[in-house]
Amino acid sequence: MTAKTAPKTVDAAAAIETFAADAQKSLTENMEKATKSFEDVAAFGQETLDAMIKSQSIAAKAAEEINAEVIAFSKKTLEETVAHAKELAASQTVTDFIEKQSGFAKTSFDAMVKQSTKMNELVLAAMKDAMAPVAARVTAAVDMMKANAA
pLDDT in tens, 90-116: 999 999 999 999 999 999 999 999 999
DSSP string, 38-104: HHHHHHHHHHHHHHHHHHHHHHHHHHHHHHHHHHHHHHHHHHHHHHHHHHHHT--SHHHHHHHHHHH
State pTM to two decimals: 0.68
Whole-angstrom distance, CA of residue 105 vs CA of residue 77: 12
Whole-angstrom distance, CA of residue 132 vs CA of residue 129: 5
For the chain, give the mean pLDDT. Answer: 89
Among candidate residues 129, 144, 137, the one with its CA nearest the CA of residue 62: 129
Task: Give the side-chain half-sphere CA count within 13 A for 125.
Answer: 11
pLDDT value of residue 1: 47
pLDDT in tens, 32-90: 888 887 888 888 889 999 999 999 999 999 999 999 999 999 999 999 999 999 999 99
